[in-house]
């Protein structure tokens, strides 16, 4: 009788755990490793789905939605459609050459090569995810090496065109990178426990300044509506003829991506000129850590910060630090004002306000830090003391 009571209690406990969605007996890391092996062993993969992206940072916010189709056999062939209608982007590789078509610009490029990863990096200039989305099979195959802590959250039904799948939901903290140590990325995967395919993938990214102020918040969710694996794919899938109205280009003139100045944003194409007419380029500044200090003559906190920047410049100039003041005021006003000061670093004349808009310098002072690779790694509003400035520089390896 005693044994029967214990059994009944055990059954009740398991039932309660299942109802609550708790699966303590499941190892999340093992699920991720099994998924990676499954993707690595696929002979073919064909799916359709929706990508939902949302970004909010500084004073800007944006949301995008795109529809995607993806097909790839084991050999080096691929077809990827992102978006719909005239705005779609198509990448097709037949194993010998690769075509990339940008419907929004009616342009395409053809490369006599099947090195798909290299071609995508070249055509999209390192921003492939922004144009064609993320969560591709190759990424899942390498997922274990980028995961930190992980846990199984629950079981949850995912509806596909072919039916309903009771998925294992796993949440993984992605390992921080050396470049952006204050970025936190959490990824939630809805895994088909039989096929070991990810049917939904939600990534939430938060980035913080060195003073722990949230810099931006971004999310991307991939929802598959259908998925087929290990089936023979006809060669016609990997053939594509651009529309007659499209023009072939050596490089695609792609529309700018509104990334909201996420940490890591490239700043290559902004012109820089100081009060003396000297021109600078971000490409020319590669290899140096760059500080932009947005100020005005009437801003007393700006002047206090500039005095600290002068000391910082003297201390770290030999370690590859370059400091620039940025001011929108009339050129003569700035020149006359600076004659009474002893700042040694260049002052950029932002007459059109392009730099101020690009770096969201709506309040003064605003400080921007660019790393040696030309990417923004910190952004601060309000006066920074010398010790705070030095802590900002540690993020770039200067100390």
For 122-142, the pLDDT digits (tens) are 887 776 776 776 667 888 999
Taking a C-beta distance cutoff of 8 angstroms, is the pair 390, 312 a contact?
yes
> Rounded CA gap, 34 and 203, in Å?
20
Of the pLDDT bands very low, low, confident and very high (cuts 50, 70, 90), residue 256 is: low
Q: Is the confidence at residue 15, as pLDDT, over 50?
A: no
> Rounded CA gap, 305 and 290, in Å?
16
> Lowest-pLDDT range, 35-39, 187-191, 202-206, 343-347?
202-206
- Tokens 């059994």, residue located: 7
CATH 3.40.30.10 region(s) of the chain? Answer: 272-394
Edge-to-edge strand order for the sheet containing 44-57? 147-160, 163-174, 183-191, 198-208, 214-229, 44-57, 60-73, 78-82, 89-93, 98-102, 107-111, 247-248
Say which residue, 218 or 171, is predicted with more confidence.
Answer: 171
Q: What is the DSSP string of 13-28?
A: HHHHHHHHT--TTS-H
Percentage of the chain surpassing pLDDT 90?
Answer: 49
Question: Whose CA is closest to 389, among 330, 310, 334?
Answer: 310
pLDDT of 84 reads: 67
CATH 2.50.20.10 region(s) of the chain? Answer: 23-237
Q: Is the confidence at residue 201, as pLDDT, over 60?
A: yes
Say which residue, 289 or 209, is predicted with more confidence.
Answer: 289
Ramachandran region, residue 331 (left: φ > 0; alpha: ψ -120 to 50; beta: rest): alpha
Q: Is the confidence at residue 398, as pLDDT, over 50?
A: yes
Partners of 92 in the β-ladder:
79, 99
- Tokens 């004073």, residue located: 59
What CATH number matches the domain at 272-394, 3.40.50.150, 3.40.1190.20, 3.20.20.210, 3.40.30.10? Answer: 3.40.30.10
Q: What mean pLDDT is predicted for residues 213-231?
A: 87
> Lowest-pLDDT range, 106-115, 303-312, 326-335?
106-115
Alpha carbon of 43 to those of 138, 234, 256: distances in Å?
13, 13, 36
Give domain 23-237's CATH architecture: Clam (2.50)
Of the pLDDT bands very low, low, confident and very high (cuts 50, 70, 90), residue 264 is: low
Q: Which tokens is 76 given?
A: 């080096």
Whether cis (ω within 30° of 0) applies to the bond prior to 365 is: yes
> Lowest-pLDDT range, 53-62, 96-105, 187-196?
53-62
């Amino acid at each position: 009788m005693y044994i029967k009571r214990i059994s009944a209690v055990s059954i009740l406990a398991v039932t309660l755990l299942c109802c609550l969605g708790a699966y303590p007996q499941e190892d999340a890391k093992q699920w991720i490793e099994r998924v990676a092996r499954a993707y690595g062993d696929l002979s073919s993969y064909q799916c359709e789905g929706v990508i939902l992206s949302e970004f909010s940072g500084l004073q800007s916010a944006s949301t995008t939605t795109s529809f995607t189709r993806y097909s790839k056999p084991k050999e080096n062939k691929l077809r990827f459609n992102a978006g719909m209608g005239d705005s779609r982007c198509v990448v097709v590789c037949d194993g010998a050459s690769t075509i990339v078509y940008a419907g929004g610009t009616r342009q395409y490029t053809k490369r006599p090569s099947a090195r798909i990863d290299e071609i995508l990096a070249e055509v999209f200039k390192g921003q492939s995810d922004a144009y064609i989305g993320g969560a591709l099979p190759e990424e899942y195959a390498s997922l274990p090496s980028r995961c930190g802590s992980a846990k199984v959250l629950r079981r949850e039904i995912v509806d596909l065109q072919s039916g309903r799948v009771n998925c294992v939901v796993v949440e993984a903290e992605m390992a921080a990178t050396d470049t952006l140590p204050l970025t936190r990325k959490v990824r939630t995967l809805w895994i088909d426990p039989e096929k070991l395919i990810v049917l939904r993938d939600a990534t939430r990214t938060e980035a913080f300044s060195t003073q722990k102020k949230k810099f931006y918040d971004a999310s991307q969710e991939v929802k598959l509506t259908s998925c087929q694996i290990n089936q023979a794919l006809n060669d016609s899938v990997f053939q594509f003829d651009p529309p007659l109205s499209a023009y072939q280009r050596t490089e695609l003139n792609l529309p700018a991506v509104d990334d909201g100045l996420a940490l890591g944003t490239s700043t290559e194409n902004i012109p820089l000129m100081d009060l003396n007419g000297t021109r600078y380029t971000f490409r020319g500044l590669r290899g140096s850590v760059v500080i932009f200090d947005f100020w005005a003559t009437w801003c007393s906190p700006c002047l206090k910060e500039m005095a600290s920047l002068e000391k910082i410049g003297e201390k770290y100039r030999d370690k590859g630090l370059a400091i620039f003041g940025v001011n929108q005021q009339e050129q003569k006003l700035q020149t006359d004002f600076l004659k009474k000061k002893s700042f040694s670093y260049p002052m950029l004349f932002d007459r059109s306000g392009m730099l101020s808009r690009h770096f969201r310098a709506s309040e003064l002072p605003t400080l921007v830090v660019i790393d040696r690779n030309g990417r923004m790694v910190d952004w601060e509003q309000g006066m920074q003391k010398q010790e705070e400035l030095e802590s900002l520089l540690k993020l770039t390896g200067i100390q």
